[in-house]
A and B are shown apart, each in its own frame.
Chain A
Amino acid sequence: MNIAIRQSSDQMPSQETALSIEGLSFSYSGKKALDSVDFAIQSGECTVLLGPNGAGKSTLFALITRLYDARSGRIELCGFDIKKQTAKALARLGVVFQQSTLDMDLTVQQNLGYHAALHGMGSKLAKQRIQQELQRLNMHERRFEKVRQLNGGHRRRVEIARALLHKPSLLLLDEPTVGLDVPSRQDIVEYVHRLAKDENIAVLWASHLIDEIFPDDRLIILHKGQIKAAGSVDDVLQQTGATTIKDAFYTLTQGAQA
């Protein structure tokens, strides 16, 4: 099933820095989870953060969303420092966490309504935005069903709709396709890629699945808390001298271990 998306406007959207990270380090009880991480993401770009389990992807997401506080380094969302201008920065951020964060006992509409209230939307606007986002993801007919009744793929769609409700400039997705069947995975991967282009949203997608990368994506390979390679797919292939992303990923992660 294809997920509908609005047509893009004729005008070319302007590129702005949606996320900028400089010199970010973080440790858990003396063990470095992130080590001097630097990168930036522009609006309209889909950046895939590739790394094996334990690479530091979830820690990086926790720092960007300010669930953890970065002791060293700087994180800016659309020019707002996450530490000093937290509310302004978080207002521009939409997140889909690795674990489902929906309330199972509430309906789809109630879950989204709660999120809209947290973002200060009035009931009329909230209703309108919920309808728009659910329709785009073909979930509007199921809005009165409890989340518990939905399958994994549909729950993920609801989470994506929720993350987009307040029109964020940056969308973070932490391994959103884990545990989904192939068609559901494909739908979500294609939807998010089109979303970045058509809505001019910056996307940071954490994954360890190479087939989720599109040829025009930006790529960041994270291993043991350090960025091993970054740039376009071609750049990364050139940097590693590999012919496929799989080989490049293996060289940078398994090769480094040996």
Chain B
Amino acid sequence: MKVLHYWRAMWGIIWRECWRFITQRERFISALVRPLVWLFIFAAGFRSALGLAISPPYETYILYEVYIVPGLCGMIQLFNGMQSSLSMVYDREMGSMRILLTCPLPRWFLLLSKLLAGTAVSILQVYVFLGIAWCYDIRPPLLGYAWVLPALVLSGLMLGALGLLLSSFIKQLENFAGVMNFVIFPMFFMSTALYPLWKIKESSTFLHTLAQYNPFSQAVELIRFALYSQFNPHAFVYTLVAFIVFMMLAILGYNPSKGMMTRKGNTA
């Protein structure tokens, strides 16, 4: 009976998130426009400027558009994770978060369900993006589309957990602009999403070190290898550990006795 309760609650949370995403057409379109602008405009412009040597998982010279696609998949998930975080802050300000937190289930489970819901939405967006990229002649092996699913689940969970963690610290919706400047942009630009590590090393070893330890880089590499039916154990372990750390901190942040909630002027 208890298991059934957990199951129903989890599906309720996932259903609500997916329904909101589908019915908010503007959100769906804008989530797709961002990576498509990067793919069609930015990558086309930089194609000649950035020459890429052969490096795993690629077995031949590739166009810049091909290189950038896994990074843009990661970008979709990064922005979606932050969007979920934003909606958590919004829900908290608007109060609907209270309904979730006062239901008779452990808080860690509710946060995990919320995270799974956000990840499901991000995966939906990534597959639509990959479909458009396929029409643009960027075609990883067919099996790669299946391999990439578990990689997207893990990277989505990791980036979503980071969003959850941030939302436990953000007191008001207005503070969210700071997240864009201090988290999203540095994370995205200081990663392997747009250029490989060795390219960054050519300009700065310091930036190279930062990019190497950036969990977003590892998530992108996990997606990149999976998309070409390969497994990157280092990226997998790094992303998994980052997910566990972010999730535990987020649970702590939402714990009424230990976390940020005790210090806030507003109730959840």
Contact = CB atoms under 8 A, between A and B. Distances in A.
Interface of A: 28-29, 58, 62, 65-69, 71, 86-91, 93, 95, 97, 99-103, 105-106, 110, 113-122, 162
A220 to B, nearest CB: 20
A68 B257 CA distance: 7
Given A97-B98, A118-B103, A68 B256 contact: yes
The 9 closest A-B CB pairs, nearest first, are A117-B12, A120-B5, A69-B257, A118-B103, A69-B256, A91-B104, A101-B95, A62-B267, A90-B104
B267 A118 contact: no
A105 B24 CA distance: 9
**Chain B interface helix/strand/loop/mixed:** helix
Contact of B265 (A28, A71, A86): A28
A122 B12 CA distance: 11
A122 B211 CA distance: 48
Contacts of A118: 9, 12-13, 99-100, 103, 105
B16 interface: yes
A95 B19 contact: no
Given A66-B256, A120-B8, A122-B8, A101 B98 contact: yes
A101 B261 CA distance: 18
A106 B19 contact: yes
B244 interface: no
B4 interface: yes
A97 B95 contact: yes
24 contacts: A28-B265, A62-B268, A67-B267, A69-B256, A71-B257, A86-B104, A87-B106, A90-B102, A90-B104, A99-B94, A101-B96, A101-B98, A114-B16, A116-B12, A117-B9, A117-B15, A118-B99, A119-B5, A119-B9, A120-B5, A120-B6, A120-B8, A120-B9, A122-B8
A102 B267 CA distance: 16
Contacts of B6: 120
A114 B99 CA distance: 10
B101 interface: yes
A187 B6 CA distance: 36
A140 B55 CA distance: 63
A89 B12 CA distance: 21
A87 B104 contact: yes
Interface of B: 1, 4-6, 8-9, 11-13, 15-16, 19-20, 23-24, 94-96, 98-106, 255-257, 261-263, 265, 267-268
Nearest to A104: B94
B102 A65 contact: yes
Nearest to B99: A101
A117 B19 CA distance: 15
A79 to B, nearest CB: 15
Contacts of B11: 117
A1 B254 CA distance: 42
A26 to B, nearest CB: 10
A101 B8 contact: no
A68 B98 CA distance: 11
Contacts of A101: 94-96, 98-99
Contacts of A99: 94-95
A61 to B, nearest CB: 8
A122 B9 CA distance: 10
A58 B267 contact: yes
A64 B265 CA distance: 17
A51 B12 CA distance: 37
A117 to B, nearest CB: 3
Contacts of A122: 4, 8
Contacts of A93: 102
A68 B95 contact: no
A28 B262 CA distance: 8
Contact of B20 (A58, A62, A105): A105
From B4, B16, B101, B104, name the one whose CB has the most chain A CB atoms within 10 angstroms.
B104
A117 B8 CA distance: 5
Given A67-B261, A69-B262, A120-B5, A115 B99 contact: yes
Contacts of A120: 1, 4-6, 8-9
A119 B102 contact: no
Contacts of B106: 86-87
